[in-house]
């Protein structure tokens, strides 16, 4: 496939970029949003990509086969932040929604759960402590206790009780409990499908849900010795050691991600 030798783990950053540049036409870059392209904020609606991100993602999309954002956010939110990027695919709600070539595609198995999620969001607002931020995402409901961490036990207990009663699934995260439909879909599944035809792929993540994406890269390497995957953890005070230890490389912030990509693009 490529004349540039496939790097081995542990990685040399220079070798990783050299291989990527030599295989740009078969390379995909995947990014989580919160904590990776945007700082984590107390109010999820206030999150914005760091200033350098839009430009560097546009340049990256012009240089490689594909760029995609894989997030727990709905596609509508991601579109509001990245509408200027014509060549970037958006996976919302862990892949339950996909924006590709100007169209939103929703997993049909999840659609019947929309009324349940709407009702759940209203009950959460009525029954949980006022300090809990209830984020309704149409196909999931996230219960944030970032501004009141002492409420974590009550919020998590309520969330798990509702999941059991309604037949929902729990997605754990940083200072949040998210309830979603009982549909098999996660970031690892997005990456598994997304790298089937790729020769090289990078994934940038910062939370426990991103470990499944890292694992998907490892699994692809295991069955295809010519494939090269790079797992990048974006660390912050809330990122557990488990996320960083599962990655090949660690960056310190969304600004560092933008700078890392800007430097990498000079190798192309």
Catalytic residues, by residue number, are 32
Rounded Cα distance between 172 and 207, Å, is 9
Using alpha carbons, select from 138, 119, 116 the residue that is nearest to residue 127: 119
Q: What angle do CA 235, 237, 242 make, to 5 degrees?
A: 55
Q: How far is CA 17 from CA 1, 23, 191, 262, in A?
A: 16, 10, 20, 12
Q: 3-class SS at 69? A: strand
Task: Write the Ramachandran bin of 200: left for phi over 0, alpha for psi from -120 to 50, otherwise beta.
Answer: beta
**Could you tell me the two tokens for 165?**
């009663």
Q: 3-class SS at 267? A: coil
Count CB-CB contacts under 10 A for residue 39: 16
């Amino acid at each position: 496939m490529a004349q540039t030798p496939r790097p081995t783990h542990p990685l040399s950053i220079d070798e990783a970029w050299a291989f990527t540049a030599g295989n740009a036409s078969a390379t995909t870059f995947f990014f989580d949003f919160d904590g990776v392209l945007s700082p984590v904020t107390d109010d999820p609606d206030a999150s914005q990509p760091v200033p350098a991100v839009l430009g560097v993602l546009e340049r990256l999309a012009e240089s490689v086969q594909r760029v995609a954002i894989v997030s727990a956010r709905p596609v509508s939110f991601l579109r509001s932040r990245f509408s200027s990027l014509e060549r970037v695919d958006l996976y919302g709600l862990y892949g339950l929604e996909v924006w590709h070539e100007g169209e939103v595609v929703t997993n049909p198995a999840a659609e019947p759960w929309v009324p349940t999620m709407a009702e759940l969001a209203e009950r959460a607002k009525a029954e949980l402590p006022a300090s809990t931020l209830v984020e309704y995402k149409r196909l999931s409901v996230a219960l944030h206790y970032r501004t009141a961490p002492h409420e974590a036990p009550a919020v998590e207990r309520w969330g798990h009780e509702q999941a059991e009663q309604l037949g929902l699934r729990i997605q754990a995260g940083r200072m949040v409990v998210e309830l979603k439909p009982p549909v098999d879909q996660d970031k690892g599944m997005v990456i598994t499908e997304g790298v089937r035809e790729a020769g090289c792929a990078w994934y940038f993540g910062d939370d426990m849900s991103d470990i499944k994406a890292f694992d998907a890269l490892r699994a692809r390497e295991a069955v295809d010795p010519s494939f090269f995957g790079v797992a990048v953890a974006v660390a912050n005070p809330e990122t557990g050691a488990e996320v960083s230890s599962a990655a090949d490389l660690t960056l310190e912030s969304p600004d560092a991600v933008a700078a890392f990509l800007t430097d990498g693009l000079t190798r192309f």
